Amino acid sequence: MGAYLCPPAVVHGEHVVETDQIVAEVRGKHPQAPWLPRIDGIAASTGIVSRGWMLPLDAAAAPGSGSGLRTPGAGAAREALARDGFTEPEAERVIAVLDAVPAPQTVQERTAPAWAAVQTYGERAARRALRAAGLDAADVDCLITSHSTTPALPGLDLSLLNRLSLRGDVLLLPATQWACIAGTRSLALAAELVAADPDRVVLVVISEALSTTYQPADDTLESLIVRLLFADTAVAVAVTGRARTESILRLDAFWHHTLPGTTDLHRLDTRDDGTHFVMDRRGPRAVQETVAAMWKWLRARHRGDAHGWHPDLLLAHPGGTRVLEYMEQTMPDGWPTGLLAHSRDSYTTGNRGGAAVLDILRRAHDAGQKSGSRTVLYAAAPGLTATAAEGEWL
């Protein structure tokens, strides 16, 4: 008996941010950056023309409410200037100039509005997913949530319990740090829950405001790439242990793989001015190792298939188009081309992190799939860890 998925709901960020807008903002902030002459080519290489954010670009790029004197303060500045021989009028003029320099946004200034949006978007996605499944909030037995860039306690699970008026005995399973594998790993956990009790209804909700990693003061090439890549999205899906009229996909098997010693390749750093996403250039090669391990798992599952098993769809979120190209190049012999079409389509409007796989699944559903179409879902995340699932369309 497998896990049955109803149509996923996807709520994209309502503020459209064009790549040209980001390029213009970066040019204005960092006119001396050594990579600036290459910025147009770098932006074009992402293949992303626009992406949706929960908050507008102006909100992410705006200075904070403080000033350049927030640390160490005017009093300490006067003392330091006096020790260096500045007269009192000279010191006042320097302090006035420093006080006019805007400070970066604080963690609170960056996170508070994003966290409010994550909750609102998550609620909208959850309500749409329940409607698509023909279910009510009272039918939900378990809620799995994830949101990696807006840390909060209580988290999205308790926020949604109250917003949706879920039952008090609903099992809440928050998974804040799953990041990019939130989609596939949530489905794997949901499958275990409904296998133990086929009458359970599990609601998965992932709401990611990845635009909070947009840091205007950073002048590194890696920071430029982060600015260009991320989109904000909330997704939700109902998972049941028995087929429903609304069910679209049955998942039958899951696979997990983690590479030891790779926690430094992708990570979130929390600093005075908010969350920074830090990438190492060795990251894509590590992701490729998990892809190779997944091919091995699939070959082992279908060894001896006289007809030469292959999926009809591959819904993959490996972090970027570079690894998608690697996947195409290393697929087992005899697999058809075009398996990653929906994955590529999703990337044209940004990297959605943990929401990506369910966004890709929704695109595949909207395109129409034949009953029995064999499908593999795959995602990799910082850690470096990966989860895949295999199943068939109903």
For the chain, give every domain's residue range. Answer: 3-62+105-240, 249-393
pLDDT of residue 93: 72
pLDDT of residue 334: 86
**What pTM was computed for the model?**
0.89
With respect to CATH, is domain 3-62+105-240 assigned 3.40.50.720? no
Residues 326, 340, 192, CA angle at the centre, nearest 5°? 100
Strand locations in the chain (E): 3-5, 9-12, 15-18, 50-53, 142-146, 171-174, 201-209, 232-240, 249-262, 266-271, 274-279, 313-317, 374-381, 383-393
- Strand, coil or helix: what is 340? coil
119-122: Cβ within 8 A, 24+ apart = 119/156, 119/159, 119/160, 119/163, 119/207, 121/11, 121/13, 121/54, 121/207, 121/232, 121/233, 121/234, 122/147, 122/156, 122/159, 122/160, 122/205, 122/206, 122/207, 122/234, 122/236
Distance CA 64, CA 66 (A): 5
Distance CA 225, CA 46 (A): 8
pLDDT of residue 209: 95
Classify the C-alpha dihedral 353-355-361-364 as positive or negative: negative
State the architecture of 249-393 in CATH terms: 3-Layer(aba) Sandwich (3.40)
- Residue 51 CB-half CA count within 13 A: 29
Question: Do 249-393 and 3-62+105-240 fall under one CATH topology?
Answer: yes
Residues of the chain with pLDDT under 70: 63-78, 80-81, 91-92, 94-103, 306
pLDDT of residue 66: 60
Tokens for 119, please give them: 């909750």
Q: Exposed, middle or buried by CB within 10 Å (0-12, 13-18, 19+), for 294? A: buried
Phi, psi of 210 (to 5 degrees): -70, -15
